[in-house]
Amino acid sequence: MKEKKSSPAALLPIGVFLVIYIGGGILFQDFYAMPAIVVFLIALFVAFLQNHDLNFNEKMHLIAQGLADDNIITMCLIFLVAGAFSGAVTAAGGVDSTVNLGLTLLPGGLAVAGLFLISCFISISMGTSVGTISALAPIAIGISQKTGFGMALCLGAVVSGAMFGDNLSMISDTTIAATKTQGCDMKDKFRTNFFIVLPAAIMTIVLLLVFTMHGSYTITETLNYNIFQVIPYLVVLIGALIGFNVFGVLGAGIVLSLIIGVSTGNIPIHTLFTSMGDGITKMYDITVISIIVCCIGSLVKEGGGIQAILDLIHKRIGSKKGAMLGISVLAAGVDVATANNTVAIVMTGELARDISREYEIEPKQTASLLDIFTSVVQGILPYGAQLLYASAATAGALTSFDIVPFCFYPILMAVCGVGYIFIQKSK
């Protein structure tokens, strides 16, 4: 049997990406000033310059084989279909109705804890943490002003709930990436993931109740919603949980959204497909990045980079627990560098799958760990989009650093994730 090639030098493209991306973020004091796709293309160019045993055409054939992987193609297509659903349901008024319905159900005596629950509901429905924060941050600020509760506490509750849905939603790009890179069903990943993070959600509610036990808030303004506009979200969520084919579920959600949008007058007939196109366009970046990362991964693996990491892990860990912890730390570390949990999952997915096979970790467990620990980082990362959006809503009153200590859920999610790892049986 041919010995697998191991060469740390093959990891140079990943190092180049991290240096340029982090360096650019520090230099420009903005981690979004340097488009990730540009840096990934530079890293791909570096990968092509390595491994002189293969000519250019052989390397092109190698990355084409990598892109032909069923999970990669399926993941990219799901990104696009999920984008079409998001565009259609937004145009149909689903986002506004979902937010207003949630706020209408907000118990007056619970105030901030209720805000966390509504944020959970909205984010798991919409599949986007940033969208949830954008919708609820102004409301959180209003609650703070009327109750006297700290603004950072109220915004922390919104960010916490947003990360709950980002981690668990069936239409979240992180869930799609985690399940497809590991080759497991969404419903299996959801069940495993949910029971890991449920204690964190319960403890977050308790903490928020303790912090706000002497105040309350009642919404006096009229919040209009149409329950029919919320139905597409429920169909997608329930259908995915039952285990229906994800394309069929999303397709049903798109058709329902368009029918509801046209019948309510929110979507004119002539913009029927434009609404879907707008949503698909928003998924272009992550789809193209996924393709480029796959290309880089194929060349790095052929050069022995993946095997070098596996060899290092074998030296450092010798058990299933150690492997699970290694996967979690790896994913979290890449998220710190990229400030994007989906990109971090895509970048580490193949390596995590190889480690899992070595130590007999179930795909649903690995997918859960990838999603959980990248969401942990993203929920407390001061230069991440989530906290930047939250702080921007305060018009300079707070910085993202001010909100971090009150993001209870991501912090508790890390505790639960580590706890889950250590209760595993050693092998």
- C-alpha–C-alpha distance, residues 314 and 6, integer Å: 13
Q: Is 22 exposed, middle or buried (0-12, 13-18, 19+ CB in 10 A)?
A: middle
- Please name which of 294, 290, 385 lies closest in space to residue 342, comparing C-alpha atoms: 290
In 29-128, alpha helices (H): 36-49, 56-67, 70-91, 94-104, 112-126
The ranges assigned to domains in the chain are 8-422
**Structural tokens at position 161:** 């709930």
Place of tokens 């985690």: 178
- C-alpha–C-alpha distance, residues 362 and 347, integer Å: 19
Predicted pLDDT of residue 15: 87
Predicted pLDDT of residue 192: 93
Taking the model in full, what pTM does it have? 0.78
Give the three-state DSSP class for 418.
Answer: helix
- Please name which of 131, 186, 191 lies closest in space to residue 161, comparing C-alpha atoms: 131
| Contact by Cβ (8 Å): 170, 127 | yes
Predicted pLDDT of residue 158: 93
Contacts of 124 (CB under 8 A, 6+ apart): 164, 165, 168, 169, 237
| Contact by Cβ (8 Å): 338, 41 | no
| Contact by Cβ (8 Å): 5, 303 | yes
| Contact by Cβ (8 Å): 133, 156 | no
Rg (CA), the chain: 22
Residue pLDDT tens, the chain, 427 long: 445 677 888 889 888 988 888 888 888 877 667 787 888 899 999 999 988 888 999 999 999 988 887 777 877 888 888 889 888 988 998 878 877 787 777 766 677 888 898 889 888 887 778 878 877 887 888 778 777 788 999 999 999 999 998 899 888 888 988 998 998 988 899 999 999 999 999 999 999 998 887 766 666 667 788 889 989 888 887 887 776 777 888 899 999 999 999 999 999 988 888 989 988 998 888 788 888 888 888 888 888 887 887 777 777 777 889 899 989 988 888 888 777 888 889 888 888 998 899 888 999 999 999 999 999 999 998 878 888 888 888 877 888 889 999 999 999 999 999 999 998 876 5
Contacts of 421 (CB under 8 A, 6+ apart): 321, 324, 325, 328, 369
